[in-house]
Amino acid sequence: MANARGAIIVGASSGIGEALARRLAADGYEIGLTARRMERLREIGADLPTKSYVAAMDVTDSAEARDRFFELAEAMPSVDLVVISAGVATVNPDLEWEPERQTVAVNVGGFTALATAAMTYFERESGTACGTDGHLVGISSVAAHVGNGDAPAYNASKAYVSRYLEGLRYREGDRDADVTITTIEPGFVDTKLSLGGFWECSPETAAEQIARAIRNKRAHAYVTRRWRAIAWLVALAPEWLLRRLF
């Protein structure tokens, strides 16, 4: 009997990560759940309709996080999909060091540690239950398109995520393995990380649109799709206007 499809979600204990775990499980994926809160992961896993696997992970400890990722992947019959949803957002106009340091450690260092681990795994395995070489999804943000004086590290870290995933897509052109890489750029989603309010969608709505992007093997998707217009406007706006807005 063929293995069921499997997905590992990094940052699955709340928000978009939790909602996406539930959405993908409803689509038949077995789910590997990772985050710092082990008890919460067990609660979520017990509520899923498919088999779940859990691993405690602090992405700021990159060496241990990568070890935990590979251990979790080896414990699952198949890993077709890896979603990196772990992230932090802090309003920090006074540039206090600890919030900036933590944002970079999680959103840049932790993301890179797990993205490279996922790519290593997919290129080493070169075969999944879906018959593909794997699919990496990174949760960035519409904030990647512009700086922000109140949250400079957050917007900069999301720009890093978007550009890094873009670089990985370019890299795949010269590799034997054909790993699909998807950049998700949400606007405001009703989670603890939300820094806004207008056009804010629920985590469940975000998860539904992300799942659709995964099914369609999109290279890039805005969540919700109306945020594409904001990205376009930011690209066209003069710097003096952006300085007044952000």
For 160-182, letters b (16+ CB in 10 Å) and e give bbbebbeebbeebeeeeeebbbb
Is 154 considered catalytic here? yes
Closest C-alpha among 225, 223, 241, 224 to residue 233: 241
- Strand intervals (E) in 6-156: 6-10, 30-35, 52-56, 81-84, 135-139
**CA torsion sign, 71 to 75 to 79 to 84?**
negative
Question: Could you tell me the sign of the dihedral formed by the alpha carbons of 221, 148, 168, 173, in that order?
Answer: positive
98 close to 24: Cβ distance less than 8 angstroms: no
Calculate helix-pair angle for 38-46, 15-26, nearest 10 degrees.
30
d(CA 190, CA 201): 6
Catalytic residue among 29, 154, 164, 222: 154
Residue 237 DSSP label: S
d(CA 78, CA 18): 20
Task: Dig out the tokens for 154 from the structure.
Answer: 């957050």
Contact status, residue 87 vs residue 17, Cβ threshold 8 Å = no
Active-site annotation, residues? 154
